[in-house]
Amino acid sequence: MTAAPLFSQSLQSYLLVSSLLFAMGIFGLLARRNLVAILISLELILNSASINFLAFNKFCLVDKTVGQVFVVFIIALAAAEVCIGLSLILLLYRRKDSINIEQAKELKG
Amino acid sequence: MIIDVVFFGIVAITLVGAFLAVSLKNVFHNALALILCLFGVACLFIYLNSEFLAIMEIIIYIGAISIAIIFAIMFSQPMYQKDEKRNPVKIGRSLAIAVVFLGGLLWTLRQAPWPNAGTQGDYSLQAIGKSLLTENILPFEVVSLILVIAIIGALLISNTKEPRE
């Protein structure tokens, strides 16, 4: 260990960033009551997973395409999820005139 | 080193954007902060040698997903005028759970023996395309099927002029 390695060239710094993003996403998912805000927190969690995939792809894998292909799938699934989620939110808003999740309790969940 | 200074700037943009995206009261401001955070994530992707995915992140996440979220906020008229009330007990509980998750992740981060395979390799778009059309052809097709189903489902759900059956 003669020269200190660059922070941008070590796996751990990327994992730290993605852990912080994930924790903020979990916090938003639990604390917010607005459905759109919950969807935004979900995007943060998906992005932290993408950063993790690419960090492991760069530092831990020999084949450098595996992680990138996975992130392509994550982005496509996130698009599908937002599409369904937003249409459900708009439907709920039209029915209840509110998107506070505490007023959507017909299923007694 | 300049490369590390820029890296810390990008990390700061990402984390500040994420913090604002979950903490501001107004949903519209949350969506704008989400755009800031996603831009930082795209810059991190460039640091991870994945320029293609950085561009896809900007096109799909910022250009499509964030704009769709903003459209949904705008369509439901008073949503961006109402600020939600806060419940300190609920926020404290969520914060505790988030800190537990973060602690677990950081503990793993310190303990686990991460393998090191070097950073040399073929990151090119050609390699991604070849992988998508040879060894990952099945997931690729399944994703296209899922997108079609999601579009049809969204159209069916949001088209409720008359009650069905």
Q: Is residue B162 part of a domain?
A: no
How many domains are there within chain B?
A: 1
Tokens read off for A49: 């997973």
Q: Is residue B56 part of a domain?
A: yes
Q: How many helices (H) and strands (E) does chain B have?
A: 7, 0
pLDDT of B36: 95
Q: Is residue B23 part of a domain?
A: yes
Q: Residue B88 sits in a domain of what CATH number? A: 1.20.120.1200
Each residue of A20-34: pLDDT tens digit? 999 999 999 999 888
Average of pLDDT values for A71-93? Answer: 90
How many Cβ atoms sit within 10 Å of the Cβ of residue B80? 17
Distance between CA atoms of residues A21 and A33, nearest Å:
19
Q: Is residue B139 part of a domain?
A: yes
Each residue of B28-85: pLDDT tens digit? 899 999 999 999 999 999 999 899 999 999 999 999 999 999 988 887 766 556 666 7
Contact A32 B119 (CB under 8 A): no
Q: Is residue B84 part of a domain?
A: yes
Nearest CA in chain A to B31: A40
Q: What ipTM, to 2 d.p.?
A: 0.88
Task: Check CB contact of B100 with chain A, cutoff 8 Å.
Answer: no
Q: Is residue B117 part of a domain?
A: no
B135 Cα to chain A: minimum distance (Å): 10
A106 Cα to chain B: minimum distance (Å): 18
Task: Check CB contact of A49 with chain B, cutoff 8 Å.
Answer: no
The whole domain housing B45 covers 2-111+123-157
Distance between CA atoms of residues A92 and A47, nearest Å:
26
Q: Is residue B127 part of a domain?
A: yes
Contact A87 B48 (CB under 8 A): no
On chain B, the residues whose CB falls within 8 A of the CB of A43 are: 34, 38, 61, 65
Contact B102 A19 (CB under 8 A): yes
